[in-house]
């Protein structure tokens, strides 16, 4: 399989390419784009949480431990003494970090259910829920973050399959076909459990209509097609300084060369740069 460094590098490239398209489409504020892009990078290493001593596994349970320990602390605030709150906070932190990780690995094995498309969909829904109800982002941004993570997740599985083929020795390793699969056929109970968790997560996801409407928007894809290459082959806006650009109407943004830009209709995905529609 591909190592951690390879997964991070390729995942960053894929997430960066998607972020470039998203930025060019002008549908999301920059501060949200950073969080969404990081979700894609996280997805590129997330399948290796089933590897006991892997960095993704340690990082995930470390993050969960911090999150749940502070949730517990704020829940019991003012109910106990300082010493008691310290013990509850520390107990939750250690229990989730080490106890939760140990329990998780009792019921999982490498290249099992977490190396599957079904698990990727589960984490997509879970990411959308987290962005909406924990990070307080708009529905379209939440689903976009989940989509980034899912594509990073699938990139990881594809890389594992590619590394299962020894091209130079013209042979296929025994691990081929164990990463990119719909679900785990060897342990159907695990697959059924994750499938049930995926359905349950979907019930709590925010409305997907803003995301779907934004993705299928003809204006969005037309705008991306228009911006794919520089106008008049003027790469990096290297223009002839002797030529005077044609002035654009007052208050209208311009592209390289002075041609007035055609503003897009506000997208439901966006937040921050463009205010959401009133309820």
Tell me the pLDDT tens digit for each residue of 100-153: 888 887 777 777 888 899 999 999 999 999 999 988 889 999 999 999 999 999
The model carries a pTM of: 0.74
Residue 224 domain flag = no
Q: What is the arithmetic mean of pLDDT over 70-82?
A: 80
pLDDT bracket for residue 269 (50, 70, 90) = low
Task: Count Cα atoms within 13 angstroms, Cβ side, for 214.
Answer: 24
In the chain, how many domains are there?
1
Position 252 scores a pLDDT of 47
Position 93 scores a pLDDT of 92
Q: What is the arithmetic mean of pLDDT over 243-265?
A: 49
Question: Do the beta carbons of residue 183 and residue 113 sit within 8 Å?
Answer: yes
Better pLDDT: 97 or 30? 97
Handedness of CA 53, 149, 5, 182 (dihedral sign): positive
Position 255 scores a pLDDT of 42
Q: Which helix (H) or strand (E) holds 30?
A: helix 30-43
Q: Where is mean pLDDT largest: 1-10, 78-87, 222-231, 244-253?
A: 78-87
CA 64 to chain centre: 17
Tell me the pLDDT tens digit for each residue of 11-56: 999 999 999 888 888 778 877 888 899 999 989 988 888 877 777 7
Residue 244 domain flag = no
Residue 127 domain flag = yes
Tell me the pLDDT tens digit for each residue of 174-192: 556 667 899 888 889 889 9
Residue 118 domain flag = yes
170: left (phi over 0), alpha (psi -120 to 50) or beta: left
The residue length of the chain stands at: 279
Residue 257 domain flag = no
Q: What is the arithmetic mean of pLDDT over 223-251?
A: 67
Range of the domain at 16: 4-51+110-215
Residue 95 domain flag = no
Handedness of CA 251, 256, 262, 263 (dihedral sign): negative
Residue 101 domain flag = no
235 burial (CB, 10 Å; 0-12 / 13-18 / 19+) is exposed
Residue the block writes with tokens 């010493």: 83
Q: How far apart are CA 41 and CA 155, in angstroms?
A: 10
Per-residue pLDDT at 169 exceeds 70 = no
Residue 87 domain flag = no
E strand spans, the chain:
165-166, 171-172
Position 247 scores a pLDDT of 57
Question: Do the beta carbons of residue 267 and residue 217 sit within 8 Å?
Answer: yes
Share above pLDDT 90 across residues of the chain, in percent, rounded to a whole number: 30
Better pLDDT: 97 or 110? 97
């Amino acid at each position: 399989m591909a190592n951690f460094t390879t997964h991070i590098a390729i995942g960053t490239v894929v997430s960066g390419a998607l972020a470039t398209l998203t930025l060019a489409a002008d549908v999301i504020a920059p501060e949200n784009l950073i969080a969404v892009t990081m979700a894609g990078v996280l997805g590129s290493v997330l399948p290796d949480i089933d590897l006991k001593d892997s960095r993704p596994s340690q990082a995930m349970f470390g993050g969960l431990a911090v999150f749940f320990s502070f949730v517990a602390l704020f829940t019991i605030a003012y109910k106990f003494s300082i010493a008691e709150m310290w013990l509850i906070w520390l107990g939750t932190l250690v229990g989730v970090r080490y106890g939760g990780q140990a329990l998780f690995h009792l019921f999982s094995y490498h290249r099992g259910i977490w190396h599957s498309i079904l698990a990727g969909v589960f984490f997509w829904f879970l990411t959308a829920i987290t962005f909406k109800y924990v990070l307080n982002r708009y529905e379209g941004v939440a689903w976009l973050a989940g989509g980034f993570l899912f594509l990073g997740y699938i990139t990881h599985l594809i890389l594992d399959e590619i590394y299962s083929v020894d091209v130079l020795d013209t042979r296929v390793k025994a691990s081929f076909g164990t990463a990119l699969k719909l679900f785990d056929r060897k342990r159907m109970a695990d697959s059924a459990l994750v499938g049930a968790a995926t359905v349950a997560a979907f019930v709590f996801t925010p409305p997907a209509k803003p995301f779907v409407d934004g993705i299928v928007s003809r204006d969005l894809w037309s705008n991306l097609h228009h911006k794919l290459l520089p106008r008049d082959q003027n790469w990096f806006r290297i223009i002839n300084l002797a030529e005077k650009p044609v002035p654009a109407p007052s208050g209208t943004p311009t592209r390289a060369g002075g041609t007035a830009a055609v503003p897009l209709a506000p997208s439901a995905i966006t937040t921050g740069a463009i205010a959401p529609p009133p309820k």
